[in-house]
Amino acid sequence: MEFFRIRKDIPFMRYALFLNAISFITFLAAIFFLWSKGLNLSIEFTGGTVLEVKYSQAADLEKIRSAIGDLGYSDVNVQNFGSSKDVMIRLPLIKNTDGSIMSSSDQSQSLMTALTKLDDSVKLQRVEFVGPQVGEELLYGGIKALIFVILGIVVYLSVRFEWKFAISGIVANLHDVIIILGFFAFFQWEFSLSVLAATLAVLGYSVNESVVIFDRIRENFRRFRKLETPQIIDSAITGTISRTIITHGSTQMMVLAMLIFGGASLHYFAVALTIGILFGIYSSVFVAAAIAMWLGVKRDDLLKIDVKKDNDNLRDDDPNFGAKV
């Protein structure tokens, strides 16, 4: 389905070097922030205590945060879940004066004492402790999942297309992932399991866009024998613009709905998806396609047909000469 069709090909590859230079600078900046600031890992990775409390009326989250801050906590996540009366509180690990880690029971007891002073209707629903060892296992498990996804994408693109497309596709996908992580490092947004899930989703989403463009490039190599590779790529990208706008536009509308109405629990998940979708479009058009062009992708790489033999039966003045596959 197409809402519109552009009749004249847009010369995307004419600006590929300039746009990839900007992309490379952004990529280096993201790596710098990851190295200098690091990720603000949630207690799911670092360990801590999760508490669920219930009020008889809508909870005042700002007062709760203030009361918890008075206990000496500087990094606390307080959010509603289910309803405005239910509150989830995530407390990081803290140490006692003797250097030992405070137990979850001690943390929950001191917290409930402070919250009861604000509103005696508060009731503790659940306490869950996440140890640092479990958090470390989750972190390494997430890294392994990311590596396996990357390897799977490389194998898939190599089998379906050609190794030059596999390299360009994975570079573009890593470009998206690193930039997402760079945003979270620069702004020190909390990096949780939901954000990790969003990052993995962006990998699959971005490679899908790359596959669509790569498939159109292969199709154009069949259709246009006399066009150069940059012109083939320009035609492929121009021909998929309508599809890109429909697909990414509708997806982004859903993600924005989560971002605006999903509350604190879905906020950073939606932020990661928004960044990934926007940069996924950019990388598929200007990074993946351009790298494939610079690696020297050509018609013979994608079509294993002997075109010379196929054209031997045509006269030089035949209008189909040079166009038949």
Q: How far apart are CA 35 and CA 37, in angstroms?
A: 6
Helix ranges restricted to H, the chain: 16-36, 43-46, 61-70, 104-118, 132-160, 163-187, 193-223, 229-239, 241-261, 264-282, 289-294, 299-302, 307-311
pLDDT at position 314 is: 43
User: Percent of the chain beyond pLDDT 70?
Assistant: 86
pLDDT at position 226 is: 81
What is the chain's mean pLDDT, rounded?
A: 81
pLDDT at position 183 is: 95
pLDDT, tens only, 286-320: 888 899 899 888 877 666 544 444 444 444 444 44
Which of the four CATH numbers 3.10.150.10, 1.20.140.10, 3.30.70.3400, 3.40.47.10 does domain 48-130 have? 3.30.70.3400
Higher pLDDT, 54 or 128: 54
- In this structure, which amino acid lies at residue 236? A
Q: How many CB atoms lie within 10 A of CB 187?
A: 11
69-74: long-range contacts, CB 8 A cutoff, minimum separation 24:
70/114, 71/110, 71/111, 71/114
Q: For the residues 55-69, what does the mean pLDDT come to? A: 88
Q: For the residues 185-213, what does the mean pLDDT come to? A: 86
List every span in the chain annotated with CATH 1.20.1640.10.
12-40+134-308
State the DSSP H helix or E strand holding residue 81, giving kind and residue range, or none if neither. strand 77-81
pLDDT at position 157 is: 78
Q: What is the 3-state secondary structure (H, E, C) of 38-72?
A: CCEECHHHHCEEEEEEECCCCCCHHHHHHHHHHCC
Structure tokens at 293: 């062009």
Banded pLDDT at 275 (limits 50, 70, 90): very high
Measured in degrees and rounded to the nearest 5, phi and psi for residue 257 equal -65, -40
pLDDT surpasses 90 at 212: no
Higher pLDDT, 22 or 284: 22
List every span in the chain annotated with CATH 3.30.70.3400.
48-130
Lowest mean pLDDT among 29-33, 110-114, 209-213, 263-267: 263-267
pLDDT at position 234 is: 92
Banded pLDDT at 4 (limits 50, 70, 90): low
pLDDT at position 3 is: 62
Packing angle between helix 241-261 and helix 193-223, nearest 10 degrees?
A: 170
CB 80 within 8 A of CB 89: no
pLDDT at position 196 is: 86
CB 141 within 8 A of CB 258: no
pLDDT surpasses 80 at 135: no
Q: How far apart are CA 274 and CA 282, in angstroms?
A: 13
CATH superfamily of 12-40+134-308: Multidrug efflux transporter AcrB transmembrane domain (1.20.1640.10)
> What predicted TM-score, i.e. pTM, was given to this entire model?
0.76
